[in-house]
Structure 1
Amino acid sequence: MRRNSRRRPTGARRATFAAVALIMGGGGLVAVNVYASASEGGWGGASGQSGGDQTLASRTVTLDCPDVGQQLTQTPAKAKQQVDADLATLDKQITDAYERLASTRQAQTDDGNYVQNAILGPLKDKRAAMIDRIKADYQQAGATAPGAIDGMAPCTGVPADQGQPPADGQSGTGQSGTGQTGSSQNSADPSGTGQNGTGQTGSSQNGGGQNGQQQGNGGQAASGPVASDFVDIRSVQPNVQKPAQQGDASTGAFVTKCGVNANGNHNTDNVIVAPGVKNGAHHLHDYVGNQSNDAFATNDTFAAAQTSCENQGDKSSYYWPVLRVQDGTQDFDQNNDGGGKEGNIGKILVAKKAQITFVGSPTSKVVAMPRFLRIITGDAKAFTNGPANANAHWSCTGFEDRQLTDKYPICPSGSSVVRSFAFQSCWDGQNIDSANHRTHVAFADANGNCQNGFKAIPQLTMRLVYDVPPPVIENGQVKNPYAVDGFPEQLHKPATDHDDFINVMTDELMGQVVDCINNGRQCGGGSGDSSQNTPPPSDPSSGGNAGSGQGSSSGGNSGSGQGSSSGGNSGSGQGSSSGGNSDSGQGSSSGHNSAGGAGSSAGGNAGSGSSAGDHSGSGSGSGGGQTTQPTTGATGASGAGTGSGGGNGGGAPRVFASASAAHGEASAAPQGTSDDSHSGSGAAQPSATAQPSAAGGYAPTAPPQTEPQAVTGGLAETGANLWPAAGGAVLVIAGLVLLRRIARRPARY
């Protein structure tokens, strides 16, 4: 037999083979892991694609689409009607796409590309076609559409673990520097849960694992709000300050009483933004004043309409999104467009008070508003557009020196929820509307002055007060939340609150308003009387928590005020009090649960004596004043003592941010009248410095900031995705070490 002369592999050769295998195997693991991570768009499940498209897995909770309308600052008159209709179609496209997003969760779980392929891709194509149509509308009118709209077709998906989407590049649509610096999605506490100090732990913004859907509301599911959208008002620091008035200030105020829409005048139209389009708002409005406002109303319609205002010369239309509590109740519009079909569910709440007051400028006299002037304040799309035009203000009675933009307040027992608005107070002097419904009016600057040749006009302020059952937050879930109606993709965020106004006063009545304000009088109240000396709107920062005051006092929450007092919230008021926070006359009590006694008190939170405020109580005066805002890092309450003011959350931990800074003058809205003020006890508020803001308003010291976007992933997620690559690297290193050891060993023959 022939001898097999092949030599068997030696130990060194076998070791070499093993080392090479380790290196190749480890390198392969690393390569595969890197490729997989890149192709999946990162560990968060999103893949960035050209043109702004974004693929997200089942964690996508809503859609962020650029607001084309805000770029159309000048639309030819011939094209306006068609462009308005096209913009309404863009809104409808987003609503339809969101409905598909919300109804296909299982498909999204099964297919990581479903959102891109079935929702975002088709939506982009539809939007592109509509944008082309808008450009054609301009061309037919002999004009050219802004080039900025060319790249606005793509929308992106917003993941559950991300905060507010970044702004879409808009800078306030030409109103930068006019006081419109709203606070955005800032957490009300350092942990970002919005529940610090309440003994509850909120979930991450947009619901985290809730996929933005609030469950457990009587079997219904809504697109928000979530636990992190709420904060206990007692854990928010005072943050408003009134600017100083100058010599030529117009200090008067004119009140018009138009009711609270007790007759249920509702629709889902918006004749300002989408004239001629049914359900153009995609949410339900309350209407007071003019009773003929719908999508097809014209100026002639408004002029001939009935009005709910006591002064029949005021046929103006005042309207705002309804507020609902999601307690499982099905209201009349449960199966309607703009109602339950678009995520606006629950019982509609009727405000128990709707105060409408026109105020002046801190730096100049005002001129008359033109008839049929249209103003929108706030932004119904603030969650996706960013805070540039946000002007929401949320608070509680007894705590109105603390204003929130991006959180709903949880009010203590006996306190009511307050929505307040202060409209733009500068007018271009020519137009009653503009293409984007914003650039014809503006907010005053930080000193209260109108810029760019704009004229100061009476500033409309509104204050809506509601009795709302407090939401309950347990284990990061909110039960029976309340929320403002809105576009479904906006997830019912509090920052999207807004208000609308069309001036339909007679010229005679508007002249009375201007005369009243410029001459420093307090007028109105109905019945056509322009000089009824109605008490002026009180300011939350006019002073507070005085220990005990005799004679004249400008502070609220006085311990035992005798004689005349210009501040509300007296501990035991004797004699007459004309202080702030009042509604009723002397010798009467229109409030609830007030303690009996002698004399009368028009101030809220009275301890003893007849009072127009509800839930009054007695107590000693409190310490430091509320005229200033705590700076970051300030200690808790300074000064001890209990008081009758409901705004004294001394025992609550410090909570910063989340305060409403949007449009400083917004806090000029009427504050805390007696028939909805409530007493409470607590330590005095800390004192610090605060800065004045725009005309007639207040602003926190700290500038508003957009909440940092959540970073996808953590240590656990990082480890779960890195372990294949790490293992491969270990194998490669082991192979290299083995090769080095083999090379060092002497060869054996």
Structure 2
Amino acid sequence: MGRNTRKRRTPLATKAIAASAALVLGGGGLLWAQMNASAHESNNSAQNYTKAAAASSVATISCPDVGQKLTNVPWKARQGVAMELAKLDKQITEAYARLASTRQAQANDANFVQNAIVGPLKEKRAATIDRIRIDITRVGGRFDSSLAQLAACTTQAANQTTAGGGNNNGGQNNGGQNGGQNNGDQATAAPSASASAPANIGGQAGNGPVAADFVDITRVAPNVLAKPQKQRTASTGTFTTRCGVNANKNHNTDNVIVAPGVANGAHHLHDYVGNQKVNAFATNDSMLAAPSSCQNQSDLSSYYWPVVRVQDGSQDFDQNSDGGGKEGNVGKILTPQSAEIKYVGSPAAKVVAMPQFLRIITGDAKTTTNGLANANAHWSCTGFENKVQLTEQYPICPRGSNVVRTFAFQSCWDGTNIDSANHRTHVAFADPASGVCGNGFKAIPQLTMRLVYKITPPTLQNGQVKNAYAVDGFPEQLHKAATDHDDFISVTKNNLAAKIANCINSGRRCQ
């Protein structure tokens, strides 16, 4: 199964106040900590609201993530396997769309979801998993027959998903580690609609976010842990690369790391900075020949992340497109005010240069169904970053403060592979207490990113959210904050990778 690269969770320095503790937000209205399925309504000014509704309604489809179990796929089989994994994502997306469009049929027939959606989905997934088996065994690889059991999917009610359950997972600012869970007191209330009524899950497209996905950051207790103490062998320098904020709107819904050769493999839209020719069909050679948005033209690396949208009733260019409005990603796309991309050192060791074409994904786009084991989302507000970092909720920032997304990538590398079958096991996080890389891994420059957005604060009132914002994602993931993630491909020329490592090891501040 490969090395375990899951982050070690550590207790928070102090308990965060969960969303359910903030019951007086938005004019005294009750905020449900365990949100039931919700019904969408909007007012005459096209401002978005989400509202609590049918308690027994199915919110989303939960399918085991087959790709995360495939840690040992022969190189000759990886392209074929990646294509099949992309088909699994497409099957879930199509099943979720059917789930969302058949609410009345579900209300009329208790067996509809199983017979018309979940059952057929299992059959499609079983056939796809078997093709993965054939791809692997055809080139002499071993296939774990137990993976066939991952064909079956289940359904989740909204209160079974990871967000809105009273947990605020903090993390170190630019430190790469989430803290442990803080379980706040949960408030409950009777549903405002009959259990048999058709329901959706909030947001303009009916799949989130909901009121419980937001929290007033001024009501959250400090939860940021101290960083590991620097040892004498620490690498203390930094290297900043200035690549812009994607003002030129270089977007696509592909993901060449997890779904090479598959258009719309991400099912959501990404911002791209750095390398300007990255899509599903990009190759190492094409990236080397591409232009870069970075001031340092030796930096051809690709830095890409899901866009953030404001759900105030507005639309954007992809309202009727795959990966956009057709898959639940709706609203005006926000361009960050600033995007700081910085490589930092290790508190415990000197770093080695990143290998050419190293691929790293940090976070998990599917935490709503996978759980939080690989979550690495950090949401905060300017003026609060050193005190509060949120994983499972979006912050409501006070006046004069902006929303901040922070990413801190894995900083330990196995010394051999530029990627792995599940895109995780070739890299790992350092120990959160000591900063030491385990399992014989080597410290590499840690990529950190800080994106700042000017967003009109959402308001919460009577269990509803007005003018929500959310990160793009797979539609069945309900736009939860914990699904935030970031992608990176290291592509450099003129010996830049070595220069970055040397700068960091010598304790300098470079750019």
Instruction: Give the TM-score range, shorter chain.
Output: 0.7 to 0.9
Query: Quick one: distance in 2 between partners of 1:396 and 1:518?
Result: 31
Pick one of 385, 392, 408 that aligns with 1:422. Answer: 408
Q: Partner of 1:521 in structure 2? A: 508
Pick one of 107, 110, 129 that aligns with 1:109. Answer: 107
**Is structure 2 residue 490 aligned with structure 1 residue 495?**
no
Query: Quick one: distance in 1 between partners of 2:301 and 2:392?
Result: 29
**Is structure 2 residue 263 aligned with structure 1 residue 278?**
yes
Pick one of 225, 241, 251 that aligns with 2:236. Answer: 251
Query: Quick one: distance in 1 between partners of 2:456 and 2:177?
Result: 32
> How much has 1:182 moved relative to structure 2?
6.0
> How much has 1:485 moved relative to structure 2?
0.1
Q: Partner of 1:72 in structure 2? A: 70
Deviations 1:216-255 (A, max 9, x none): xxxx433100000000010111122222111110000000
Query: Quick one: distance in 2 between partners of 1:325 and 1:468?
Result: 8
Q: Partner of 1:351 in structure 2? A: 336
> How much has 1:181 moved relative to structure 2?
6.0
> How much has 1:161 moved relative to structure 2?
3.7
**Is structure 2 residue 213 aligned with structure 1 residue 229?**
yes
> How much has 1:183 moved relative to structure 2?
5.1
SS at match of 1:486: coil
> How much has 1:202 moved relative to structure 2?
13
**How has the CA–CA distance of structure 1 residues 490 and 330 changed in structure 2, closer, same or farther, with 3 Å as cutoff?**
same
Amino acid of the structure 1 residue aligned with 2:339: A
Amino acid of the structure 2 residue aligned with 1:462: M
Query: Quick one: distance in 1 between partners of 2:214 and 2:145?
Result: 40
Query: Quick one: distance in 1 between partners of 2:482 and 2:459?
Result: 21
**How has the CA–CA distance of structure 1 residues 300 and 329 changed in structure 2, closer, same or farther, with 3 Å as cutoff?**
same
Structure (1 or 2) with the larger CA radius of gyration: 1
Query: Quick one: distance in 1 between partners of 2:501 and 2:62?
Result: 42
SS at match of 1:221: coil
Q: How does 1:456-495 map to 2 (within 5 A)?
A: 456-495=443-482
> How much has 1:192 moved relative to structure 2?
5.4
> How much has 1:211 moved relative to structure 2?
4.3
> How much has 1:160 moved relative to structure 2?
3.3
* Contact map agreement 2:103 2:198 (CA 8 A) in 1: no
SS at match of 1:436: coil
Pick one of 172, 186, 193 that aligns with 1:191. Answer: 186
SS at match of 1:383: helix
Amino acid of the structure 1 residue aligned with 2:497: M
Query: Quick one: distance in 1 between partners of 2:190 and 2:269?
Result: 28
Query: Quick one: distance in 1 between partners of 2:198 and 2:287?
Result: 44
Q: How does 1:367-446 map to 2 (within 5 A)?
A: 367-400=352-385, 401-446=387-432
Q: Partner of 2:321 in structure 1? A: 336
Deviations 1:147-180 (A, max 9, x none): 3412100100002343439xxxxxxxxxxxx986
**Is structure 2 residue 308 aligned with structure 1 residue 320?**
no
Q: How does 1:165-176 map to 2 (within 5 A)?
A: none
SS at match of 2:460: strand
**Is structure 2 residue 208 aligned with structure 1 residue 213?**
no
Q: How does 1:691-706 map to 2 (within 5 A)?
A: none
Task: Flag structure 1 segments of 5+ consecutive residues without an equivalent.
Answer: 1-43, 45-55, 166-177, 194-200, 525-749
> How much has 1:146 moved relative to structure 2?
2.2
Amino acid of the structure 1 residue aligned with 2:307: V
* Residues paired across the two proteins, number: 443
Deviations 1:310-356 (A, max 9, x none): 00000100000000001111100000000000000000000000000
Q: Partner of 2:491 in structure 1? A: 504
Deviations 1:29-54 (A, max 9, x none): xxxxxxxxxxxxxxx9xxxxxxxxxx
Task: Flag structure 2 segments of 5+ consecutive residues without an equivalent.
Answer: 1-35, 37-53, 164-174
* Contact map agreement 2:269 2:323 (CA 8 A) in 1: yes
> How much has 1:450 moved relative to structure 2?
0.6
Query: Quick one: distance in 2 between partners of 1:129 and 1:57?
Result: 34
Deviations 1:498-535 (A, max 9, x none): 000000122521121111100111111xxxxxxxxxxx
Q: Partner of 2:23 in structure 1? A: none
Q: What's the % identity of the aligned pairs?
A: 66
Query: Quick one: distance in 2 between partners of 1:203 and 1:367?
Result: 56
Q: How does 1:641-720 map to 2 (within 5 A)?
A: none
* Contact map agreement 2:100 2:206 (CA 8 A) in 1: no
**How has the CA–CA distance of structure 1 residues 409 and 192 changed in structure 2, closer, same or farther, with 3 Å as cutoff?**
farther
Query: Quick one: distance in 1 between partners of 2:314 and 2:180?
Result: 32
Query: Quick one: distance in 1 between partners of 2:101 and 2:333?
Result: 25
**How has the CA–CA distance of structure 1 residues 335 and 179 changed in structure 2, closer, same or farther, with 3 Å as cutoff?**
closer
Q: Partner of 2:153 in structure 1? A: 155
* Contact map agreement 1:351 1:466 (CA 8 A) in 2: yes
Query: Quick one: distance in 1 between partners of 2:260 and 2:490?
Result: 17
* Contact map agreement 1:373 1:432 (CA 8 A) in 2: yes
Q: Partner of 1:269 in structure 2? A: 254
> How much has 1:212 moved relative to structure 2?
4.8
Larger RCO (alpha carbons 8 Å, 6+ apart): 2
> Which structure has the highest strand share of the two?
2
How high is the TM-score relative to the length of structure 2? 0.83
Deviations 1:575-616 (A, max 9, x none): xxxxxxxxxxxxxxxxxxxxxxxxxxxxxxxxxxxxxxxxxx
Report the aligned-residue RMSD.
2.4
> How much has 1:285 moved relative to structure 2?
0.1
Deviations 1:114-140 (A, max 9, x none): 000000000011101111111111111
**How has the CA–CA distance of structure 1 residues 124 and 420 changed in structure 2, closer, same or farther, with 3 Å as cutoff?**
same
